[in-house]
Amino acid sequence: MKKRILTGDRPTGKMHIGHLIGSLRNRVKLQYEYDQFVMVANVQALTDNFHNPEKVKESIGDLLCDYYAVGIDYDVTTVFIQSEVPQIHEIFIYLANFATVQQLSHNPTIKTELAQKGFEKSTPLGFYIYPIHQAADICCVKADLVPVGRDQAPMVEDCRELARKFNQTYGVSVLHEAQALFGASRNLPGIDGNAKMGKSLNNAIYLADTTEELRKKVFMIKTDPNRIRATDPGTVEGNTIFIYHDTFNENTAEVEDLKERYRRGTIGDVEVKQKLYDAMERQLGPIRERRREAEGKKAELLERVIENNNRVRAIAQEVVDQMKDAMKIRFS
Amino acid sequence: MKKRILTGDRPTGKMHIGHLIGSLRNRVKLQYEYDQFVMVANVQALTDNFHNPEKVKESIGDLLCDYYAVGIDYDVTTVFIQSEVPQIHEIFIYLANFATVQQLSHNPTIKTELAQKGFEKSTPLGFYIYPIHQAADICCVKADLVPVGRDQAPMVEDCRELARKFNQTYGVSVLHEAQALFGASRNLPGIDGNAKMGKSLNNAIYLADTTEELRKKVFMIKTDPNRIRATDPGTVEGNTIFIYHDTFNENTAEVEDLKERYRRGTIGDVEVKQKLYDAMERQLGPIRERRREAEGKKAELLERVIENNNRVRAIAQEVVDQMKDAMKIRFS
């Protein structure tokens, strides 16, 4: 039997090429090797967007189109919506007995995000508890593996520990101890060179961007700030435009040639950018096409996902029943 | 339509006469005036008894017998089991967006209980969040009123505030803003004079105690420590034995006579205690009889309660559906 993977996204906006490189491409590969579940984490999205439910709702449709566009195969991958699997919340409540407040308050991700969101003095409880809620997500589908970046390894380790504590306390092996799956996922800087790409940073290229928008944004990409004229020698290493070339331009000979001339100061930025635009268009053009197609059948995609929820609920209910058996609180 | 009440108990042991005086008697009256729901809070009991699920399980049967014994009418009162209404956990998760961590960490009840249980350094998350979980209990049955002692008024106020915030944020009136119902509930000291009666304090008289156990415990009740001989004048005010007389001896003329002679120093402790035993036996004897009867039909009572859960789940599902509508996450 194939091992099961759980992954997912918070529906808080359209997906960008950072997502494509960081996770989506990897999922397209993983879906044929594993039994892949992709969760649309709308309950989690609401924890810091509860004042704006319309945005979360709209973004679900966007996510489904983005998934379709990049090649997530809805016949192979089980895409489901978090809020449609209430068993997750039940699992959360029982796992919460095995987590401590101190553990959460020292969680580095929570600490960083609280600071970023200015939540230090008034932290919504729903947001604060989400690392444990994530453990419930993972347990609810009996996931064996969770594809994450290296920085998220502690999150998966915390989840394993919770599952282990539950199993040990009741002398059972009810909860899967999921493992992190480190993939080929890479981090892509924003067009302004910022290490993170994001909507709020206004430095993202979206999968839904038109070819004109793509072109405009490619020509805005940050290059070597010390290179004033085309005849100045430039630095390639850590240069955003070449990170993009390395990521998107499959013509490696061309990339090597561009780098060579950039270093010597025998090429203008315009040529480097034009070639990047051409390369990105070759990759993003077909995705954009499929995305347009997906927009036309958004309702169909949503229906498909709502059907999947039945399958997920059945798995999650099994987990809940087994947890309740272990805790001697199963009556029916 | 009758107003709805929610009340309940944590199944962590047999009930004692402190419960009888503090809440059970009141419920027997309330059940005919209101639509009364009584929740067996086993999920909450597990938050600090998760290592001992057997105790929680056993105590559910005990509670059901105690309820029957004191006159809770299973045809009139809806007794239900918390873990059988998973909607509570879903409501909790959505309410948690409107509570803050700071609010919980300043909650006086939580603070006191953490200190009592020695949890300060390692607080189980499940325990920490229970004030918000209680708000979910109250919302799940659309309770109008919550019978509590004056000291618990802030808990009900917090719940009202959460419901109000939810309703205001989404411009709806989905969640009931329950009010505290202050009853004739009184606090009964333990037989050792301690203000609190409890199993861990080993100072309780249980509804299930035999008449011999009752007699033995009554004769252990603390009296005026400054009164050495039966001829010494004694103090009646704040004297545990007379608090018990005032509570259980319906023959007020006899109580006045005992007090008078006690003050003057013309009565021995034995007579005061024998008369208290007689009075308590008149009240607790029939309860003990009914409790024995209940023991014989524990399975039947449990079945009855499991049936009730269907009714409660239906009400709670309505609440969940309306909350989801408000948050724009209702798909099916």
Of the candidates A131, A53, A54, which has an alpha carbon nearest to the alpha carbon of residue A99?
Answer: A131
CB atoms B124 and A98 under 8 Å: yes
Cα→Cα distances A149→A23, A71, A156, Å: 9, 21, 11
Task: Kindly state whether residues A222 and A175 are assigned to the same domain.
Answer: no
pLDDT at position B188 is 94
Identify the closest residue of chain A to B100 by CA–CA distance: A124
In a domain, B231, yes or no: yes
> pLDDT band for position B187 (50/70/90)?
confident
Q: What is the pLDDT of residue B96?
A: 96
Structural domain boundaries, residue B269: 211-291
Q: Tell me the backbone φ, ψ of residue B106, rounded to 5 degrees.
A: -100, 0
Pair (A75, A147) in one structural domain: yes
One domain, residues A171 and A79: yes
Is B150 within 8 Å of chain A by CB?
no
Q: Band the pLDDT of B308: cuts 50, 70, 90.
A: very high
CATH number at residue B240: 1.10.240.10
CB–CB of B148/B131 below 8 Å?
Answer: no
Please check whether residues B235 and B279 belong to one and the same domain: yes
Q: Residue B204 falls within a domain, yes or no?
A: no
Cβ distance of A329 and B104 shorter than 8 Å: no
Q: For an interface test with A, which of B58, B79, B331, B332 has the most A Cβ atoms less than 10 Å from its Cβ?
A: B331
Mean of pLDDT over chain A:
94
Query: What's the pLDDT score for residue A185?
Result: 65
Tell me if B276 sits within 8 A of B217, measured CB to CB: no
Q: Is A66 on the interface with B (CB under 8 A)?
A: no
Q: In Å, how far is B327's CA from the nearest CA of chain A?
A: 6
CATH number of A38's domain? 3.40.50.620
Average per-residue pLDDT in chain B?
94
- Confirm whether B205 is domain-assigned: no
Q: Are residues B303 and B275 in the same domain?
A: no
> Would an 8 Å CB–CB cutoff place B125 in contact with chain A?
yes
pLDDT reading at B117 higher than 90 = no
- Answer whether residue B275 is part of any domain: yes
Q: pLDDT (tens digit, 9 = 90+) per residue, B55-81? A: 999 999 999 999 999 999 999 999 999
Whether residues A32 and A178 fall in one domain: yes
Are B277 and B229 in a shared domain?
yes
pLDDT tens for each residue of A27-83: 999 999 999 999 999 999 999 999 999 999 999 999 999 999 999 999 999 999 999
Identify residue B208 by its one-letter amino acid code: A
Exposed/middle/buried for B331, CB within 10 Å: 0-12, 13-18, 19+? middle
Q: What local confidence, expressed as pLDDT, does residue B114 receive?
A: 78
**Same domain for A42 and A184:** yes
Rounded to an integer, what distance in angstroms lies between the CA atom of residue A157 and that of residue A153?
6
A262 CA to chain B: closest CA distance, Å?
Answer: 51
What percentage of chain A reaches a pLDDT higher than 70? Answer: 99
Average pLDDT over residues B128-132: 92
Same-domain check for residues B305 and B223 = no
Q: What is the pLDDT of residues A253-263, one digit of tens each?
A: 999 999 999 99
Is A286 among the domain residues? yes
Give the dihedral sign, CA A138/A142/A147/A150.
positive
The yes/no answer to whether this complex scores an ipTM above 0.90 is: yes
Question: For A174-229, how does the pLDDT look when each residue is reduced to its tens digit (9 = 90+)?
Answer: 999 999 999 766 789 999 999 999 988 999 999 999 999 999 999 999 999 999 99
Q: How confident is the model at residue B185 (pLDDT cuts 50, 70, 90)?
A: low
Domain for residue B74, yes or no? yes
Nearest residue of B to residue A92 by CA position? B89
**What is the count of structural domains for chain B?**
2
Alpha helices in chain A (DSSP H): 17-19, 25-33, 42-47, 53-70, 87-95, 101-105, 108-117, 125-128, 130-140, 153-170, 211-218, 240-248, 252-264, 269-296, 298-326
Our CA-based measurement puts residue A123 at a distance from the nearest CA of chain B, in whole angstroms, of 5
In a domain, A104, yes or no: yes
State whether A135 and A41 are in the same domain: yes
For residue A317, give the chain B residue with the closest CA. Answer: B86
3-state secondary structure of A181: strand
In A, minimum Cα distance to B122 occurs at: A100
**For residues A1 and B141, what is the distance between their CA atoms, to the nearest angstrom?**
43
State the DSSP H helix or E strand holding residue B321, giving kind and residue range, or none if neither.
helix B298-326
As separate numbers, helices (DSSP H) first and strands (DSSP E) second, chain B gives 15, 5
> Kindly report the CA angle at B134 between B59 and A312, in degrees rounded to 5?
85
Restricting to A residues 254-313, those with a Cβ less than 8 Å away from any Cβ of B are 302, 306, 309
Same domain, B14 and B122: yes
- Is A76 in the same domain as A222? no
Residue B295 token pair? 């023991």
For chain B, the 3-state helix, strand and coil shares in percent, each to the nearest 5, are: 60, 10, 35
Q: What pLDDT, on a 0 to 100 scale, did the predictor assign at position A9?
A: 96
Measure CB to CB from residue A169 to each of B50, B86, B122 and give the nearest one.
B50
What are A102-126's pLDDT values in tens digits? 888 888 777 887 788 777 778 889 9
Chain A positions touching B47 (Cβ under 8 A) are 96-97
| Cα separation, A206 vs A288, whole angstroms | 10
Q: For residue A199, tell me if it sits in a domain.
A: no
CA A82, A87, A91 angle in degrees (round to 5)?
110
So what's the pLDDT on residue A83? 98
Quote the tokens at residue B6. Answer: 């929610």
* Cβ-contact A160, A178 below 8 angstroms: yes
